[in-house]
A = this chain, B = another copy of it.
Amino acid sequence: MYIGVDLGGTNIAVGIVDEKGTLKYQKSIPTKRERKQEEIIKDMIETIIEVIDDYWIHKNEIKSIGIGIPGLADPDTGEVIHCVNLGWNNVPLGKSIEKALGIPVFIDNDATVAGLAEYEAGVMKGVQSGVFITLGTGIGGGIILNGQVYSGANGVGSEFGHMVVGENYYECNCGKNGCLETFSSSTALINYTKKLIMEEKYETILKENINDLNGKMIFDAAIEGDQIANLAVDRLVKYLGIGIVNLVNILDPEIFALGGGLSKVGTFLLDKVREEVLKNKHYKTLPVGKIVLAQLGNEAGIIGAAILGKYKR
């Protein structure tokens, strides 16, 4: 058995996962990220102990603990290198928990571990090379190469959200201009929709909700034919298509799996993305990996974190 921890900006989810990658039991607590990191780590440790006790299992049966963090991790040292959401820099998270519980701890980026889960038990099962893209508030990614997670020499690879793919009318939080997540995340979708509504050039049913827009509302409106919603969705898709073709030209994986909140829109988004990628191929017969929707949803974060140890040893 393995323990998986999905450390998010809002909640910390802890679960027990078996050898096959099945989530057996889980528990969730609020992160309260404004607290000191020591307090958050103490809560994580207590929740792990609770989950072990609740599931009536002995600590010795847990082979390892894995943690997915919303930022950059050093898989070799178990350190959180940089995590904007939590305001953490160079936090020895892995070692702290290992010391407290006496169980080996592995950490990696949350999108990377979700990609690993899709490889172990989801839509990327059996591939030699796969790219997982999370489309949510931001954009993250995970790379599977030769049946292993690939995070780069310094643990900062597969950060597709900060790949520059064009020029945008506003800067990214990271200080650069043109990052994929400023075009194709739900945040970007909402920002651009608001911009279009305020320009008042087109009709829209979204006008009355301008102050509480979310990604789902905009996609629902687009499906119903709303003009502004469709312009905003098309822009998201245009740049996501560029991003995916960039990844073809660099990594050329067998498969692309789209996960994260926006992927719940399903085939309406998937069909548009596939069409855009076909349009962007730099010659007609260029072979491009399959593009599919991820399968495991929210559980991917816990499952992927849990099985990190299975792949690292």
Residues of chain A whose beta carbon lies under 8 Å from any beta carbon of chain B: 72, 81-82, 84, 89, 128-129, 143, 145-146, 150-160, 162-167, 172, 174-176, 178-179, 242, 245-254, 280, 282-283, 285-289
Contact = CB atoms under 8 A, between A and B. Distances in A.
Nearest to A90: B285
16 contacts: A81-B287, A129-B153, A145-B145, A145-B150, A152-B248, A153-B289, A156-B287, A157-B248, A157-B250, A160-B249, A162-B249, A163-B246, A165-B178, A166-B166, A166-B178, A174-B282
B254 A153 contact: yes
A155 B246 contact: no
Contacts of A84: 283
Contacts of A242: 164, 178
A167 B167 contact: yes
A178 B174 CA distance: 21
A128 B151 CA distance: 13
A246 B176 CA distance: 11
A282 B175 CA distance: 7
A89 B285 CA distance: 10
Nearest to A159: B249
Nearest to A174: B282
A250 B250 contact: yes
10 closest Cβ pairs, A-B complex? A152-B252, A157-B252, A174-B282, A154-B287, A159-B249, A153-B254, A163-B246, A156-B252, A162-B249, A164-B242
Contact of A249 (B156, B280, B287): B156
B250 A247 contact: yes
Nearest to A152: B252
A228 to B, nearest CB: 23
Contacts of A252: 151-158
Contact of A157 (B167, B172, B251): B251
Contacts of A286: 72, 82, 156
A100 B53 CA distance: 70
A20 to B, nearest CB: 26
